[in-house]
């Protein structure tokens, strides 16, 4: 009855120090994770045939720099809010 796609971004904080923040972005299609970006690994990793091809292309293109920027823009920017909760 159609296709289901979503992207989930999460920040994991291991300490109150901003160096201990990990960004994980998952791209899911029909309940199967195709691609994941992990800031600790520093690149996209594919988990399906389609995901592997896209991860290879994204690691060579502007998508990688954009995702690395999200660590600063999204995670580090919101860290004080998350720490206070």
Give domain limits for the chain.
Answer: 5-84
Residue 62's pLDDT is what? Answer: 95
pLDDT for 83 equals 67
Task: Report helix, strand or coil for 85.
Answer: coil
- The C-alpha atoms of residue 2 and residue 31 are separated, in whole angstroms, by 13
Q: What per-residue confidence (pLDDT) applies to 47?
A: 97
* pLDDT given at position 14: 76
Neighbours of 44 (CB within 10 A): 23
pLDDT of residue 60: 96
The two tokens of residue 72 are 């600063």
Q: Mark the ranges of the chain whose per-residue pLDDT is less than 50.
A: none
Structurally, what CATH architecture does the domain formed by 5-84 represent?
Roll (3.10)
pLDDT, residue 57, reads 97
The answer to whether the CB of 65 falls within 8 A of the CB of 73 is no
Please report how the helices 62-70 and 49-60 are oriented relative to each other, as an axis angle in degrees rounded to 10. 90
């Amino acid at each position: 009855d159609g296709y289901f796609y979503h992207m989930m971004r999460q920040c994991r904080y291991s300490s109150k120090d901003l160096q201990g923040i990990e960004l994980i972005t998952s791209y899911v299609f029909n309940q199967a994770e195709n691609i994941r970006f992990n800031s600790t690994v520093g690149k996209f990793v594919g988990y399906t045939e389609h995901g592997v091809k896209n991860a290879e292309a994204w690691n060579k293109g502007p998508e990688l720099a954009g995702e690395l920027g999200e660590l600063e823009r999204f995670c580090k920017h919101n860290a004080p809010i998350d720490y206070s909760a």
